[in-house]
Structure 1
């Protein structure tokens, strides 16, 4: 595949495999336990860069090695095979990644990986909390506080926004990324591209109006973090430290609706997401009550107006 630019903060060259495994652990990328036999040849290398919330690690073991990898809790790992081949297995499923392949690794679990002698890998590590915030900012409705990603590998694009963003973040001189706001903006865009390409069971809403007013964003985050609670309008006004009249005027000007309607729509989006993706959902009543809809007939009316079908129809369509 076409090389990705990499301007590193740390570089180890012509070192042994054990040194690379220690560097990966020291960089917070995870734990690599080498399985015997392990050569003592000094053919391995490691590059590392941390910028903002993201970490980039490129490495190669320089010989065929078997590794038991423990991925760190609370992080998303995008793995891109730059050269050679690696075979990895998790949850009883085996996957062969050739040069140019990419996959998002499972969360905080052990994976068995066999690297070919010429294998080179780039890891992009992003906090899961950052990815959750990105999902909400870009209008994705998720049914829990855990993101899910596709198990299959995909060819990493030779052109396009994801490659450009990784190159900009990992390859530019630090002076070009001295502004934290620029780094944050690039990181958000990269997170969105990862969600678009590898995300699983993500529902993007076009029915809830978006606004980038800081008070609206603050309220949206608060509602989504407490979406199963009964939230009052007074609570939202206190959150923004404005009067009720100012809050209503803000919603009318920015979104063309009342705060109550906005809360209800976000709750309905979460209900829709859960009905279509949560295997533990048994009936509509259970999920309606969970999100504070005690009047079931009114809930069905609201749901049909917003989603375009009855909640029972959604549950039936996506039942497994």
Structure 2
């Protein structure tokens, strides 16, 4: 699996390349924390690490020359966020097994252990964040998490901003050498990670939501065409209806049913745009879980500013 993150500017901040795993472990430990490396199989090539500091956080990439297991006894005094630019990793943390790739990240708080089995083509993107970058409440909230989806709105924005910083030589160099610019970049990335409005310091739609909220979102995404109701979503999330509704209100500023409707509309729009005029709008609406075509058309116009029949179809030009 290859991500859309190319990171050309970050590549020019290479700390080392090495074919020696002992040297690799020592050099990474100077930036991160002590750890052990256990190769999986006999073939092993060159490892490398790119890394740069901006304000109170550091961002970099690590690639080993083959499949490898990384064991960390304790994250050394910072918050660690890691996902894969290429390949994937199987991470064991907080009593869970987490599959990490370019759409799913793992988070570890200071002092927490973890173990990761990296695929042969895995390149990690790692971010180490000073706890002082967070307020006490925010640090506690993030510390309670073990994973986060990079496909959610706030985290998509976070990933796009990270991509911008790591792709622009001028921006990255200014951010690393100018404390004022570095502080602004840090505030933006940390603010998006927390789901906070950095202009006003108030809670916005938080990507770092409780596990039951994310379980509900996954269930909704997998059942867009089904006639699911709130009790079914709560059951799939493993919490009472009231707990689910309160969680969505606090962390998503919405309700589960509103999210279901929005995701259905988004899916319908995607299908319309990719189809030809031979595929009827009514068929698309039914396939996306809408049974009342008039309400579908009204909701579509409210969300996208146009009727379904007015959305251009790219399939017609093929």
- TM-score where L is the length of structure 1: 0.52
Q: Residues 39 and 52 (structure 1 numbering): CA distance in 2 closer, same or farther, change over 3 Å?
A: farther
Query: Partner of 1:108 in structure 2?
Result: 111
2:208 counterpart of 1:199: yes
Q: Is the 8 A contact 1:132 1:147 kept in 2?
A: no
Deviation at 1:26, TM superposition (A): 1.0
Query: Partner of 1:305 in structure 2?
Result: none
Give the gaps of 5 or more residues in structure 2. Answer: 196-205, 211-249, 251-318
Q: Distance in 2 between matches of 1:160 and 1:15?
A: 35
Q: Residues 160 and 98 (structure 1 numbering): CA distance in 2 closer, same or farther, change over 3 Å?
A: closer
Q: Residues 93 and 162 (structure 1 numbering): CA distance in 2 closer, same or farther, change over 3 Å?
A: same
Q: Distance in 1 between matches of 2:49 and 2:138?
A: 38
| Counterpart mapping for 1:220-239 below 5 A | none
Q: Distance in 1 between matches of 2:46 and 2:139?
A: 44
Correspondent of 1:21 among 22, 25, 33: 25
Q: Distance in 1 between matches of 2:51 and 2:138?
A: 34
Deviation at 1:124, TM superposition (A): 0.9
Deviation at 1:120, TM superposition (A): 0.6
- TM-score where L is the length of structure 2: 0.52
Query: Partner of 1:46 in structure 2?
Result: 49
Q: Residues 156 and 69 (structure 1 numbering): CA distance in 2 closer, same or farther, change over 3 Å?
A: farther
Q: Is the 8 A contact 1:58 1:122 kept in 2?
A: yes
2:161 counterpart of 1:152: no
Q: Distance in 2 between matches of 1:95 and 1:144?
A: 21
2:79 counterpart of 1:76: yes
Query: Partner of 2:160 in structure 1?
Result: 164
Q: Is the 8 A contact 1:16 1:41 kept in 2?
A: no
Alignment RMSD: 3.1
Deviation at 1:33, TM superposition (A): 0.5
2:189 counterpart of 1:190: yes
Structure showing the higher helix proportion among its residues = 2
Q: Residues 148 and 11 (structure 1 numbering): CA distance in 2 closer, same or farther, change over 3 Å?
A: closer
**Quick check: which has more Rg, 1 or 2?**
1
Query: Partner of 1:224 in structure 2?
Result: none
The count of aligned residue pairs is: 193
Q: Secondary structure at the match of 1:31?
A: coil
Greater CA deviation, 40-49 or 82-91? 40-49
Deviation at 1:41, TM superposition (A): 3.3
Correspondent of 2:4 among 2, 5, 14: 2
Which runs of 4 or more aligned residues in structure 1 lie more than 6 Å from their structure 2 counterparts after TM superposition?
143-146
Q: Residues 156 and 49 (structure 1 numbering): CA distance in 2 closer, same or farther, change over 3 Å?
A: farther
Give the gaps of 5 or more residues in structure 1. Answer: 134-141, 202-275, 277-320
Q: Residues 37 and 105 (structure 1 numbering): CA distance in 2 closer, same or farther, change over 3 Å?
A: same
Q: Distance in 2 between matches of 1:101 and 1:121?
A: 12
Deviation at 1:55, TM superposition (A): 0.9
Correspondent of 2:67 among 43, 64, 67: 64
